[in-house]
A = this chain, B = another copy of it.
Amino acid sequence: MLTSGCCAPLVAEPVGEAEAAELARVFKALGDPIRVRLLSLIGAHDGGRVAGEGVCVCELTGAFAVTAPTISHHLKVLREAALIDSQRRGTWVYYWIVPATLKRLTGVLALPETLTADLR
């Protein structure tokens, strides 16, 4: 789960099959609008940036026009891709982002400066 190697940009040299499969799994987890919004809601919340603290799922479900079990399903997909982690405390589950996974993605999508210089 994105543990092998680290962060070499895709455009620096052709990525191997195993790493491509790992990356595709994480990108696929982000390939849904509700999951993109959930990751954003968690990461934009102060508690969601602190491992072991987190955002209560009870604060997340209200933002969506889908049922709580559907939200739980999407959160599970994000968790299985190591984009977020979670902990049950009492009645509720709390979620926080996993910075290492996001950093890995920005690393693999990075471009040489020569290609981005005129993009501002």
A residues sitting closer than 8 Å to B (CB atoms) are 9-15, 17, 20-21, 23-25, 27-37, 39-41, 43-44, 49, 63, 97, 99-100, 102-103, 105-106, 109-112, 115-116, 119
- By beta carbon, the residue of chain B nearest A101 is B109
Q: Are B37 and A32 in contact (CB under 8 A)?
A: no
User: CA of A44 to CA of B9 in the docked complex: distance in angstroms?
Assistant: 9
User: CA of A78 to CA of B108 in the docked complex: distance in angstroms?
Assistant: 16
User: CA of A117 to CA of B31 in the docked complex: distance in angstroms?
Assistant: 28
Known: A106-B106, A111-B102. A33 touches B20 (CB 8 A): yes
Which residues of B sit under 8 angstroms from A41, Cβ to Cβ?
14
Which residues of B sit under 8 angstroms from A35, Cβ to Cβ?
24
User: CA of A29 to CA of B110 in the docked complex: distance in angstroms?
Assistant: 17
Which residues of B sit under 8 angstroms from A119, Cβ to Cβ?
99-100, 103
30 contacts between A and B (CB under 8 A): A11-B44, A11-B102, A13-B40, A13-B44, A14-B37, A14-B40, A14-B44, A14-B63, A15-B40, A20-B36, A23-B30, A23-B36, A24-B31, A24-B35, A24-B36, A27-B30, A27-B31, A28-B31, A49-B112, A49-B115, A97-B115, A99-B111, A99-B119, A102-B110, A102-B111, A103-B111, A103-B116, A105-B105, A105-B109, A106-B106
